[in-house]
Amino acid sequence: MAVTRITSRNARFQVLQTLLSNRTKRHRAGEFIVQGVRPLSMAIEFGWEIRALLYDGERSLSSWARDLLGSTPGAEQIAMSPGLLAELGEKGEGAVELLAVVAMRPDDLNRVPVSHDFLGVVFDRPTQPGNIGSIIRSADAFGAHGVITTGHAADAYDPKSVRASTGSFFATPVVRAASARDVAAWVEDRRAAGVPVVVVATDEHGDADVSEFDLTQPVLLLIGNETKGLSHAWRELADTTVSIPMAGSASSLNAASAASVVLYEAHRQRHSRASS
């Protein structure tokens, strides 16, 4: 395969830069940049479409990088000067070896599998991409089947989100929905198909302590915006709210931390039930 070379901030390099920093152009192109050995390896493992591989054209590559270049024949290969590659890798010291341009997957709620052991997460109007990635990582760790973001706030395909997920982004379906109404219609369809999904919101004044609520049933967990909490629409749609008991002077938990606590409790209950 012919190799493209980029040694200056030409038009092609500028297009690649927009995939990092411009959400609108990133989604218009339908692709994003993946940084890091584990995320890139996970993208390959879970069958994501690799459109281009960008590598340092002035160094001897590791066996991992050479194997990846040799085993992805459909991907364009782009040899770059180390400084430019470091910019795309968001590393100031030029220590980047290989990056990938990966195709996005469709924002189709049906990508999230729903069965009688369903556990899903909605993150309502997130403002911090790092929190999205952290929630995706916890969702993957504790057996959730998908993560849904609502509204037009932070982007799950932002490099900060993908990095924070440490590769779980590629193993767990992540879907954007425009509004609570769209997700509610999807939930009703699942219920009509025979899966009694319970919509569970988190709130410091919940109806029940999270450890006292049955999280072994099909559950869609709602996590609110980092500063404003859940929108009124989601509060109206929730079947119940659960609270996390707290000690000390903290009044609340970070959104990602709260999600992790509830996901762990769901995993604990399910594991205990399966073991009994």
Q: Could you report the per-residue pLDDT of 248-274, keeping only the tens digit for each?
A: 655 667 899 999 999 999 999 999 988
Any idea which of 13-22, 48-57, 111-120, 223-232 has the lowest mean pLDDT? 223-232
Query: Cα dihedral angle (258, 260, 264, 267), rounded to 10 degrees?
Result: 120
| pLDDT > 90: percent of the chain | 76
Q: What is the mean pLDDT of the chain?
A: 92
Give mean pLDDT, residues 3-26: 94
C-alpha 86: how far from its chain's center?
24
Q: What is the pLDDT of residue 1?
A: 62
Q: What is the pLDDT of residue 247?
A: 67
Q: What is the pLDDT of residue 272?
A: 92
Position 204 pLDDT exceeds 90? no
Q: What is the pLDDT of residue 40?
A: 94
pLDDT tens-place string over residues 95-139: 789 999 999 999 999 999 999 999 999 999 999 999 999 999 999
pLDDT tens-place string over residues 131-163: 999 999 999 999 999 999 998 878 999 999 999
Position 94 pLDDT exceeds 60? no
